Each structure stands twice: as structure tokens, then as C-alpha cells.
Structure 1
Amino acid sequence: MLPKKWWQFLILTGLILGLVVTALVGLAATLIYPELPSLEALTDYKPKVPMRVYSEDGQLIGEFGEERRAFISIDAVPKKLKEAILAAEDERFYQHGGVDTLGILRAAISNVTSGSFKEGASTITMQVARNFFLSSEKTATRKLSEALLSIKIEHSLTKDQILELYINQIYLGQRSYGFAAASQVYYGKPLDQLSIAEVAMLAGLPKAPSRYNPFANPKRAEARQRYVLRRMKDLHFIEEKQYLAALEEPHRFRKSRKIRDLSADYVAEIVRQAMYERYKDDIYSSGLKIYTTIRQSNQEAANRAVLQGIIDYDRRHGYRGPEKMVKPGVAPDNGSNWLDSALDDTEEFQGMIPAVVTQASAKTVSVYTKNGANIDINGDGLAAIQKLLSEKDPAKHVIKPGAVIRIMRQGEAWHIVQLPQVESGLVAVDPENGAVRALVGGFDFNRNKFNHVTQAWRQPGSSFKPFIYSASLEKGFTPASMIEDEPISISARETGSGSAWEPKNYDRKYDGPMRMRTALTKSKNMVSIRILEGIGVNYAQDYITRFGFSPKDHPPYLAMALGSGSVTAWQMAGAYSVFANGGYRVKPYIIAKIVDSRGKVLEQSKPQLAGRDAPRVIDGRNAFIMTSMLQDVVRIGTATKARQLGRSDLAGKTGTTNNQIDAWFAGFNPKQVAIVWMGFDKPKSLGNVETGGKAALPIWIDYMSSALRGIPDVPLEAPTGVTPVLIDPATGRRATGEHSMVEYFYHEFPPPDAEETPSLIPGFPIPGHGQPIPTEKQDNTPPRADQLF
């Protein structure tokens, strides 16, 4: 029977439509449900966790992967974060079955009454379904699939398992996935150290990560945070007092957008290359943890030392002028002001902030920085450009409005600086096992990724002489051997190169006959050449392989005595370790262990230890005598600046190549070997006075002052077979009396008696050969990335 009244007709129509819709939905569900994806991705959850690189003491150095992600179990998630998420996204999460019908009704009423249709009813379970399996398209079929999949998830997983997936998988901006990663990205600390205000900020991100990104949109982010806090209060997750305190809490976001605890980009890249050779693209998603041998205190000291050394060099050579000039007041077409536009394509490096000059006088320069600050620079901050500011000719006033320059905070004041053109590298090694404790490959990795420690093959200059001297000790030379310091001329016929060779001492001074110890202390080129001539270039070329050098990089010519071959700072660190540890070859390595995402150690380094299983490559007596002579380089020779460290156990050698193209200092004590190089990528002179002692040694001193702090002096002790003898310093012969001095000798190579007259090189009589040192066959090629542990 048909209804007789209109309202009865409406009710009947509604019931019929409802039955039809229900039937259709049921039919659709029947068709769709069997086609829903397997939940294996959830039940066997394997997030794409990036590879992370750490220092020995657990400081994050770098991470590599498309996604920033860090897995955290639900048991470790702070209660306040859970509550903030529920308040922001799904307050009835623990009551509904995947689809919140009450929430849908509430959202529908809100949308109808407000007319805005902005209120949603997506549950956390539905978001998990969407993130793992579905697209973001807004169609009826996709929404129905999402609802059905949510119900399926709820039947297969517990609520805590679902929430754990959500907390670890959700995208939160800045390439960060999951709240643990976002906590590090935005605040630089783990979740359990976040305040209520901070968890509310993070909990507000899932709704729209870009819109509410506190870095990009701080006002919108704060408004969203306040909404979450209000919801937390309304749901009684926090009290009124906590709510008000959170509203007043100032924002303290991570200052640097780089996700790391320790700046060691060159180290991180070495590791990335090594791991890529092993595991290929899997490294970007498998969650490997690589622990290096780097120590935070050493690396930070190396960072400071190299940066300051480069700045000091740059300051000595004057200001080159602004990076570019822009026309003041001319706004671009994109609507930004002229100041911001002038700095758009200029990046900050090593704290050197781009800035554009707005006003300039002889006493003050006003600038607008890339981060939007207006700063006045005066006093010592103008030291680099004082001459330019004093120019009376207006045409020479290059520091004027529109000049794009660099400023840097040094102490309490701002200084005008410039990006350097020179480069430098430092590597520090533990000579007892080869562990690399610090490595700086250049001024700034983001500006120049070329690693000047492992990739730069440069001439070592005089820093190579100790290896020639070491070879001569095995041929019967002694520190007291008298050798002529006079000019040498080798004809074109003898050189075989078509031109004569007339090497010079650096200072162009020649002192006649001198002891070998004195020659090394003063870095006399003529003496080094005569020593090499005396022992033979082929013997020396073979001998240096004991230190890890390859013969092919050091051709058998007399110029080898002056360091004309090619080395890397990495090689030099291993070579000088032989002197530092008493004669053992330990290979520098930088990877300590590889750990998988579950904490299982996949590989562990097994370094050879000096005095145990490392091969002995030179006589312990040789290492002692060489160290003794190299200590004199620091005590009275070309590296006396290092005496300011107040230690008696320092040894080393300066190195400067022809025309001051490369500057080196290689130095050590028994606990640390550090090698410093400075030069230009495109070789050119550093300047007439820029020797190893001027350019490289100060960096070494700066580093060692920190690296050796708290480590007591280690006295040099003579091994068995070394005989101390009193000699005459003027002749090198045995002597007695107040003018004599102690020198060290192999017991089989004593000094001549007072009445004997020793010959001079050339024609030096070789009293005999030292006993050959049993060595293992050495691999003299530079380290490949996969040989770094």
C-alpha cells in the first residue's frame, strides 16, 4: 500500500535509496575486498632507513638516502607525543575499528553548518593504509578501498602496531619520514628530550607538511601548534598550566639544516664511496650504520685549525675585492627587493655569510646579509679592506653600495672576509694501529668535493728527505757523517733530459762540510742530493717501498732527494707512522665497523698493531735515530715554532716545493702523526715566503695543541744496538772535553777516531751494508675506497 501523506513518501523514498546505496556499497565491497593488497608490507615492516656514518664516539657525521628516517618502537615513543598525535589526528583511535563513523558524522555536520567542507574524518589507520598502499587521488573508489583496507588492517594488527607504523612512516617535511627523524631535523635532539610545545609542533605536521613547515612557514606552523595544544588541553592530556606554559615557550629550532652532530663531510664521503662499492644502491635504504675511527675532539680541532690556517694565509695576501657588483635599488621582476635578489645565488660556506653593502665610509661599512640582518662593521672588522676604504680616488672605491662581500663572526665582532682560493688538507693517525683520528679534505666540502688528503697527488718537497736519510743509515751513514754543502751541477748528458740541472738550497746559502744531523735540521738540499748519490737512486727507490710508497711515483733520479715524486697526505701519514712507532708499517684505516639495521655487526676492522702483528719494515735503531734528528728539526731547525707547544717529544719535517707551490709539515709524537698540506688546486706559487714552516706548520701546531692536550710527554728511549758516543760537532769524530756532544750510532757503524780523517760525499767510503730487514711484501698503491678498514 502506497503512503497517503507526503512525509511518509519521503521516508519510504529515503529507505529505498538507503537500501539501494547499501546494496551497491556491499556489492562494491564484495568486489573490492578480495582485490585489496596483502598486508605483508605492514606485518613485515622494513622502512627505507638511510645509511648513517658515525664517529668512534657515536657522533653522527652524515647520512645518505632519499629519505631521512629513524625507526623507533612504540614502547620507546614518549607518552606526550602519542597524546599530541591523537589530539591532532584521531582522538578516537583506540575506540573505532578503522573507520570512525562518529567522526564522519561530526565532520559532515561541521562542513554543512560552516559551508567550508574543510573538515575531514581520516583516521590514523586510514592514513597508514593510504601511505603504504594507495594513491592520494580523491575518488569514491579510492575512498572505499581506503575504508575497507583500514578495516582489514584493524583485524590483522593491534592498535599499538598500527600507531607504531604511523609514527615511523608518516612524511613530516624536510625529507624526514617518521617522528624520530623529524625530531632530529627540526630540533636536533631525540624524541624523549622534546617539550610539550615541541611535540605539539611535530604532531601538527602530518596534516600538511609543507604548509606547516616551521622553517618555511613559521607563522602557519605556530598557528597549527597552538591548535594541537588546545586539543590536548580539551582532551585532558595536559593541564591548563602546562597549556599556558607551552604557548609561551620560545621556538628553538636546529640552527643548521644539516643533519649531523660532527662536521666531517670528507670522511662521510670516503665511507659512502667504500660502502657503495660493497653494497651498491642498497646503502641508501638498508639502514647500515658505519662507525669510523674519527674522534670528535680531534676532528673539531682539525676543522678549526685548517679553517684558521686558510683564513690567515688569505689575510696575508690581501683582499681581492667584492665577489660581484649589483646596481643598488634595482628590483627584479619576481617581486623581491634588490637586496635579497643580489644574494639569491650566493651560498654561505664555513660561516662566511654573503652580504651586500648598503653604506660605506672610512670607519664603518653597513651590510644586509643573506639571512636578512642589517649589520654595521667597524674597527678591527675592517682590517682586510682598510686600504681600500682609505683610497682618495673615488674610482678605486670598490667597497660601496651594491658590492657583494662576505662577513664572518670572529669572537664578539663581525669581520669582512673573502672566500679563499687556496686549499689545505690535514690527516691525523694513531701510529700504533693506523686509526685515522681526524681528516679534513679541504676548505669546504660543499664548495669543493675534491679530497686533498686522499686524492691530491703532490710533490712532497723536503718532507720526503727523512726517507732518503733513513735509507742512508742502512748504508753506513750516521748522524755524524760529514757531507759537503756546496752547489751541484749536473750536465745535460748526465741528466739524460737534454738540459742541465743546477739545484739550489732554499736560502741560496752554502755552509761547507756539515754533519748529516745538521743538514736535516736545516733542510740542506745539496746534502740530501749527495746522500742519495752516495747510496744510489735505485737502492733508495726500492727502500722507500717499506714506508708504503710506490717506485713508479718516485723515478730513480737525484731529484728524488728533494721530494720531486708524487705523494698523498694519506700516504705520508702512514709513512711517518713508521718513525713514530719504532719501525712498524701500520696502514691507515678509517672504517671501524659496519652494523646492519638490526644492530648486527657485519664487518669489524682488524688493524695490525705496532710491536705485535704489524710487519717491521725498518730497524728499530733506524727509527730511533731518525726520530732523534727530526726532534732537532723542531728544537733548533725549520720547525722551531712548534716549541710553543711546550713538549719535548715532538718531531717532524717541513716541506716546500719549487717556487713554493706546495707547503707541507709532517710531524708526530709516539701517540699521534699529523700531516698538513697547503696549495692551490691549479698549481701556482703560494708566495715567496710561504714555506712549509710559514703556511702548513701553524695549522699543525693549532691541531696538536688540542690533540695532545692531557697526554704526557713520551721520552725517546734508545733501543738495543744503539751506542751513544761523544763527538766533536765540527768534525763528527770521537772527542772528549767540554765542546763535545753526544751522538747516536749503530754499534757496527761507530764514528771515526779523532786522528782519522773521514772522506766527504761524493767518494764517501761505505763501511758496510746494514743487515736486510725482513719485511712482508707491501701493497704500495694508494688506498681504494674499499680498503679503508
Structure 2
Amino acid sequence: MKLPQDRTLANVVSLVLCGILAGVVIAAAAFPAVGVSGLTAKSASDSFSDLPAEIKIPPVPQVSILYASNGKTEIARFYDENRRNVKLGDVAPVMRQAIVAAEDNRFYDHQGVDARGIVRAFVRNQSNGQVTQGASTLTQQYVRSILKYGATNSEELRLATEDTAGRKLREMRYAIALEKELSKDQILENYLNITYFGNQGYGIYAASWVYFSKPPSELTLAEAAMIAGMAQNPTQYNPVENKQFGTKPAEDRREYVLNQMVKLKYITQAEADAAKKGDLGLNPKAQAQSCENGNTAYGFFCGWFLDWWKSNPKFGKTRTEREDDLRKGGYKIVSSLDVRMQKAAQQQIDERLDVNSRFATGIVMVEPGTGRVKAMAINRKYGIPKNQGKKTYPYTVNPLLSGSNVSPGYQAGSTFKMFTAVAALEKNIPLSNTIYAQDRYVSQYNGGCKTGPKYCPKNASPTMKGLQTMSSAFGESANTYFIPLEEQVSVKAAVSAAEKLGVEFRASVDVKNKRDAQTDPTAWGSFTLGTAQVSPLDMATAYATIAARGKYCAPLPLNKIADQEGKPLPELSNPTCKQTIPKQVADAAADMARCPVGDNSMVGLSCTHPGGGRTAASVGRVIDRPVAGKTGTTDDNNAAWFVGFTPNLAAAGFLANPDKYLDSVPNTQIPIDATRDALNIALQKLPVKQFIAPTSKLAYGVRVTVPDTTGDSVDSATRKLREAGFEVRLSPTRVSSDIGEGRVARTDPAGGSDSTKGSVVTIVLSNGQPPEPEKPDPSEPGEDPGDQIRDQICSTNPALPMCQTEPGGN
């Protein structure tokens, strides 16, 4: 409570400070060593009067905290100064009293400058010949901190911190002005939040935690007195870091503060004596910062979040500015990471592969339609401890799940067939498009093969040989269907489809291959078989785009974010999405992707051809809702993948050696099983959603009759087939036939059958040798394979137009 005589005295001080004595008394009181020879009464008065009366209060650095999506589970902290502002009402009353007793026992009596304190300091300093008492009020100390934090260059910082009379004059001038703008409680609150209390405790909230592991509202009298004592000299009195004298200086300082509190009648002598007993009761809690020191269960997500933040122009012009903003901005960041889904994914990983394995296996989950990343799990530990024996595991901070130029990802195998299929669907090539899948296919692409210089991949199993549709070939993962399909649409178009869905090519060899494929139709034929290196985040995002009906959403680690005042900043956390492929194309691609996992096509297309089998049928048996996906393995099993999705969640799992890409993985089933079971658990609390059936146009296209070209020359047969609307390929292998050498022995599909307009018809020439009698091969095309496919379709979809008329027509 302010007393009348003190208010009067304070008003007199304000007048005196504007007068002739101000500079002389202040300088002599605070800086006797400097003297007053260079500071005349008039110059002091003039400089004081010339100072501006208003001071701009800058925001002080505060810690930004990253939480999981529940807003409670802390993932990591980011800061330059470990500070978190609190309201005065959230500070224990004894703490407020202790700081006043320690630093300014007349705080509630003066108006920014304490005249009595100045005179007392003047007398003591002059008698001692040195500064033993500074006479700064709590308000002046706050002003000094404001000027320091508000400095924008080295000169302003020097003026704010130098030991000169000029600095004292500025502080007093601003202190008087500040007390007219802010209440005492506002000043005290700001002082407690800005002051450094040692041991990385910037502000009372952090100080309370770094010394006693509790919020400031719970501080006891003894604890408050000790912390208040830190303000004068946070190095000398620091009980945690004082190597020379230990806790003795802090204990002595605590006793001084308690005695001051008794004098001010804040506490009784008995209360003070009780608080002096015993040790300091320290219970320090480390306030670790950044991802490698945060919650290890979420380390790889945190590392990706930090890289995402530093790459986002919303937070500054440069990566340095953006990181500085994070470390000073005091943001409350609620991330997209779902604790339940993360736990499910990590559990499946841990059950299948040890952290000390040289192989890495991991799962990334993404929400379609928002791009929010729900989980990032891997059998590695995020951190910087040194690994034994020059190993790169289990500890690492490499972005093994999100990718970078240093860690570009892993070859994704047949999961890339999705991109060729999307490119085909964009060109209106339907799911029923038929191609005869050979055991080995000699392509137009460069690459070399035992039979010549052209790239000639084969299938994983002979059972895949035969007439395949896009849906059945995807279900069985028939390489020799997708290579000719890639020839039909071009590698350039397939690469474009991958990028539109969310794939980023980081490896230098892939960047070169992509560039070559833009102009060379014979380049990068292996693209559709997944020889590019990509991250699990890329693949989860790409398949999430399919699940979201062609709407690509940039991967997002945030649910919401608020500034240090608690104001929401939705513009920083809203998804960034755009329609990159038509909805109908995505619907058709999703229907096709039901085939590998055991679901059935929504429009009755067969998911396998006669004799074939699905690559991940167990997924559909375990996940009791509409689901889709694709497996992927590379040559020699150097990597294994599974990407699965529903309309509301996508997950990508992989297995590879990040340090040795040619190392064969121990079990290609691991990504299928781990991703399937993690996805099944994650989906349990999500609503069941249905896929959208593809349009008839993209499911079946236009069915026309394949012309019979048996016995024709290549030119004549090619002309007839193209006039009927088919793409034409010439088989490099000739067959025995009663037809003359070099003439058409047959076509695949056969002449007279019906097939999709725009699909590929392969011409097979005769070698002139009569055929040897042999038993029928059920994997070879029958008499009318097109009719067989038509009959399969019409058996489940009799209402389709193609089922109401004879084969053929437009």
C-alpha cells in the first residue's frame, strides 16, 4: 500500500531528476569511480529532458513446445532462452513477496525511481569509494532488460548494458514513464518473466522447474526465497553450478531474503526461522531442448518436423531465420502425431526386428485429404550417442523415414506400378486393358539383357504368364504387363504421375534418369518396377493422394499452432492441398489396388488371371473394411515394401539396409505383416468409409473386335489393327506354325475376340516350322481370350451395355 508521504516524495524525485541535481547525484551515487568531472549539472539535466518518455516493450524469447496431437504429450522443446511467460496469478504469493524483498523493498511506494535509495546509495558509495549499492529499483531493472532485448544492433546493446551515468539516466527516465503506463502488478509480472535466475532458468516459470521441478504456483517460502536471491547474481548464487562454494552462497542469500521479508512484515520471524532450516531441497529438472534430447519415442517425427519448419517460407526468409523464430517465438505447437497410432506402429516394428539389426524397417502413416502425418516408427533410436564398432545404428539422426539428399530413401519395387497405371488411366486406358504377359519381355528400353542390348525383365513367377488386365496384373504384380503398358504411356508420363501424387526424387542418379526420360523414349524403362529411391513418407503420401480421390496434400506435421500469447495461427497449420489427378482416375486406381490385398473390384473385374494369385491377400483377411494396397520387392530382394490404404488412412512400410542398398533383406514378408497389423489397430477408432466405384469408361473403356490377321504380312496386320483402334506391338519371339515364315501366326488377344479399344495387340510371327503336337497349356491364351474376359465381366455385371450385344462395335 502506498503512503501519502511516500507518494509526495516520489513526485518530488521526478521533479528533481529533471533539474540540475539529477545527473550529479545519480552519477555520484551509482558510479563514483567514473566521477562527475565530465558530467555538468546542465548537461545532465538537458540529456534527461531530451530522452523520449515512451519505451517500446519487445517480445522476449520464449520456449516453443511441440506436443503430440492430444495437446498433452510433450515431444520436444526449442529455445535460445528457456523461458515461458506466466500470469502473476500463477505465481505463489510468497514468490512475489520474496522478489520484492530481495530487489526493491520500496517497490509499492515509489513511482519508478526511489529517492531514498538514491541518497542511501550516494552516501555509502562515496564513503567506500566504490559501487557497493546501485539504487536501481525493480522497475529500472525491468527497463534495463527491455533495452537489452530490444537492441537491434551492437551499438544499441552497448548503450543498454554499459556502466555509465548516461545509461542510468535513460533507465530512470523510462522507469518513471513506464509506471504511468503499467500497474505495479503488471511490472512485477513482466519482471518475473524476463529475469534470469541462473541454471538455464529464464523467467520464474523455468526457474521453478530447473531448481525444484514444480510450477511457480506451488513454490514454498524457502524455495521462493532461494530463487529470489538468484536475481542479483545468478552465477555466484547458483546452487547447482557453483563448483567452488557449492550451495553455501545460495543458503546465505536465502537467509538474507527471508530476513528482508520479516522486516517488510510479509512473514513472521518464526516462519523465517523454519524456512532457514535444512538444505535447499533442490530437485532440479533438466530442460533439454531439440529433437535429439526430447521424447525418444517420437524422435524421427520430431526431426522431420524441425526440417519441415526450417524449409517453410511461412516462418522466415532463410532457414536460419526460421529456426531462430522457432527458438524464440514461444509457440505452442500441437502436432499431427497420434500417440495411439504411433504406439501401434512401433509395437509392430519392435516385434519383428531388433534395434541392433543392420536392416531398418519402418512405417509412416498419413491422413488422406489433409496430409497430416500420424505416425513415424522405425527400429532405430533418434539421437547422437556414439555407436559401437563404427556402426551407424542404432543411434542416428538421419531422416530414414522422411528422406533427404543425404538419405534419399530405398528402391520401392512394384509399388511404382501404381504410377504407370495412373498415367495410363489419365490417357483413358481402362482397367480392363489387356496385354499378353510373357515370361520375359524384351522392351524398347536400353539396359541390356542376355538376349540383346534391350531391357528385358521377367516375372517373379511363371504363373503370371498369359492375358492380363491392368487389374489382374496389379493384383499379381506382373512385370511383363507393366513394362509394355509403360511403353504405351511413356516413362515421362509415369514419372509425372508419381510426382503429382507426392513422390520426390532426391538421389542424383534418379534426377539424371528423370531428366533423360523427358526426351529419350528408351530411357529409364525400369522405372515402373521401382528402381528409384524414395522415402516411406513419399509413398504414404502418394497412396494417400489416391485414397483422397486425387487430392494431393503436402505432408503436414501440425494440427494447430498458437503464438506466445495463445492466439491461434491457423494460416500456419492449415493443410496445403490441390487436385493433381482427376477424381475418376483415382477411383479407378483405388479399385485396381483392392486386388493385391484380397478385396474384390467394385465393378466385377477379375483381380487375377487363370492360375494367378494375389500378392498380399492376408491384408484383406485381417482388416475388416474396404482396403487397398500394393507390395513391392526389388531384384535380389534388396528392399521390400507394402503400402496399404483406406479412404481415411494410408501407411507405407519398408525393409532395407540404409547403408548397403545391395544387401538382401532377411524376410520380404515383414513390411506386409507389420504394416497390415499396425494399420488394423490404427483404424479401430476411425469410421468405416467406402471407396468410390470407377466409371464404366475407366473400368472397361470401349470394347471392339480384334481383326483376324492370321497369315497377313506385318504391315498389313498393323494397318488393320490400328484402324480398329488398337496399339500394336511385335513380339520378338517367333513361333512354330503352319503359316509361312514371317507371316502373322497369331495375335494376343486373338483375332475375332473383343478387347478394349486403345489396348495393345501383340503380333506373333511364324518361324516357318510346323508346330509339334502338345498338350494344351492353361496359361496360354485360349481360342477367344477376349470372350473369356467378357464372360467373366458379364457374369457379375449383366446390365452393362457390352453384355447386351454381340462383341464389337464402338
Partners of 1:440 and 1:34 in 2: CA distance: 67
Partners of 2:375 and 2:277 in 1: CA distance: 42
**2:416 is the counterpart of 1:448:** no
**2:65 is the counterpart of 1:45:** no
The change in CA–CA distance for 1:489 and 1:88 in structure 2 (over 3 A counts) is: same
Partner of 1:127: 141
Partner of 2:632: 655
The change in CA–CA distance for 1:314 and 1:152 in structure 2 (over 3 A counts) is: closer
1:651–1:669 CA contact under 8 A, matched in 2: yes
Match of 2:582 among 610, 616, 633: 616
1:700 Cα deviation from its structure 2 partner: 3.3
Match of 2:288 among 253, 257, 267: 257
1:167 Cα deviation from its structure 2 partner: 1.8
Partners of 2:543 and 2:26 in 1: CA distance: 84
2:413–2:529 CA contact under 8 A, matched in 1: yes
Partner of 1:626: 592
**SS of corresponding position for 2:675:** helix
Match of 2:107 among 89, 93, 114: 93
Partners of 2:479 and 2:335 in 1: CA distance: 37
The change in CA–CA distance for 1:211 and 1:652 in structure 2 (over 3 A counts) is: farther
Partners of 1:90 and 1:563 in 2: CA distance: 71
**2:514 is the counterpart of 1:552:** yes
The change in CA–CA distance for 1:471 and 1:299 in structure 2 (over 3 A counts) is: same
Partners of 2:27 and 2:308 in 1: CA distance: 60
The change in CA–CA distance for 1:626 and 1:496 in structure 2 (over 3 A counts) is: same
Partner of 2:440: 487
2:79–2:289 CA contact under 8 A, matched in 1: no
Partner of 2:367: 430
The change in CA–CA distance for 1:230 and 1:697 in structure 2 (over 3 A counts) is: farther
Moved more, 266-275 or 30-39: 30-39
The change in CA–CA distance for 1:33 and 1:714 in structure 2 (over 3 A counts) is: same
Give 1:315-330 correspondences, 5 Å limit: 315-317=356-358
1:520 Cα deviation from its structure 2 partner: 3.6
Partners of 2:109 and 2:514 in 1: CA distance: 75
Partners of 1:224 and 1:504 in 2: CA distance: 83
**2:233 is the counterpart of 1:208:** yes
1:92 Cα deviation from its structure 2 partner: 3.3
Partner of 1:468: 420
Partners of 2:214 and 2:635 in 1: CA distance: 50
Spell out, residue by residue over 1:167-219, the C-alpha distance to the aligned partner (whole angstroms, 9 max, x if none): 23212345553224545666777544666666555434323334455654595
Moved more, 283-292 or 705-714: 283-292
The change in CA–CA distance for 1:97 and 1:304 in structure 2 (over 3 A counts) is: same
Spell out, residue by residue over 1:453-489, the C-alpha distance to the aligned partner (whole angstroms, 9 max, x if none): 253255321111233345556524439x685462345
1:425 Cα deviation from its structure 2 partner: 6.3
Letter in 1 for 2:679: M
1:586–1:609 CA contact under 8 A, matched in 2: yes
Partner of 1:764: none
Give 1:570-585 correspondences, 5 Å limit: 570-585=537-552
Count the aligned residue pairs. 622
Letter in 2 for 1:629: C
Partner of 1:297: 339
Spell out, residue by residue over 1:134-167, the C-alpha distance to the aligned partner (whole angstroms, 9 max, x if none): 6666678877886787667657754334323322
1:622 Cα deviation from its structure 2 partner: 0.8
**SS of corresponding position for 2:595:** helix
The change in CA–CA distance for 1:154 and 1:301 in structure 2 (over 3 A counts) is: same
Partners of 2:618 and 2:240 in 1: CA distance: 47
Partners of 2:112 and 2:664 in 1: CA distance: 73
Spell out, residue by residue over 1:362-408, the C-alpha distance to the aligned partner (whole angstroms, 9 max, x if none): xxxxxxxxxxxxxxxxxxxxxxxxxxxxxxxxxxxxxxxxxxxxxxx
2:418–2:589 CA contact under 8 A, matched in 1: no
Partner of 2:707: none
1:655 Cα deviation from its structure 2 partner: 2.5
Partners of 2:277 and 2:684 in 1: CA distance: 43
Partner of 1:373: none
Match of 2:196 among 155, 171, 177: 171
The change in CA–CA distance for 1:677 and 1:236 in structure 2 (over 3 A counts) is: farther
The change in CA–CA distance for 1:544 and 1:444 in structure 2 (over 3 A counts) is: closer
Letter in 2 for 1:312: L
1:176–1:182 CA contact under 8 A, matched in 2: yes
1:127 Cα deviation from its structure 2 partner: 2.5
1:294 Cα deviation from its structure 2 partner: 1.4
2:597–2:629 CA contact under 8 A, matched in 1: yes
1:274 Cα deviation from its structure 2 partner: 1.0
1:570 Cα deviation from its structure 2 partner: 4.2
The change in CA–CA distance for 1:743 and 1:712 in structure 2 (over 3 A counts) is: farther
**2:646 is the counterpart of 1:669:** yes
1:669 Cα deviation from its structure 2 partner: 1.7
The change in CA–CA distance for 1:53 and 1:156 in structure 2 (over 3 A counts) is: closer
1:267 Cα deviation from its structure 2 partner: 0.5
Partners of 1:559 and 1:574 in 2: CA distance: 22
The change in CA–CA distance for 1:521 and 1:29 in structure 2 (over 3 A counts) is: farther
2:446–2:455 CA contact under 8 A, matched in 1: no
Partner of 2:685: 710
Match of 1:67 among 81, 106, 116: 81
Partners of 2:346 and 2:207 in 1: CA distance: 29
The change in CA–CA distance for 1:255 and 1:136 in structure 2 (over 3 A counts) is: closer
The change in CA–CA distance for 1:81 and 1:572 in structure 2 (over 3 A counts) is: same
Q: CA RMSD in A?
A: 5.8
The change in CA–CA distance for 1:591 and 1:238 in structure 2 (over 3 A counts) is: same
Partner of 1:459: 411
1:462–1:656 CA contact under 8 A, matched in 2: yes
Partner of 2:571: 603
The change in CA–CA distance for 1:522 and 1:231 in structure 2 (over 3 A counts) is: farther
Partner of 1:312: 353
Moved more, 234-243 or 469-478: 234-243
**SS of corresponding position for 2:230:** coil
The change in CA–CA distance for 1:301 and 1:177 in structure 2 (over 3 A counts) is: same
Spell out, residue by residue over 1:429-474, the C-alpha distance to the aligned partner (whole angstroms, 9 max, x if none): 2213333334579852655355752532553211112333455565
1:525–1:562 CA contact under 8 A, matched in 2: yes
Partner of 1:12: none
Letter in 1 for 2:288: R
Letter in 1 for 2:661: K
Partners of 1:149 and 1:662 in 2: CA distance: 67
1:520–1:633 CA contact under 8 A, matched in 2: no
Partners of 2:592 and 2:650 in 1: CA distance: 15
Partners of 2:118 and 2:27 in 1: CA distance: 20
Letter in 1 for 2:418: P
Rg larger in structure: 2
Partners of 1:744 and 1:566 in 2: CA distance: 40
The change in CA–CA distance for 1:449 and 1:539 in structure 2 (over 3 A counts) is: closer
Partners of 2:500 and 2:430 in 1: CA distance: 18
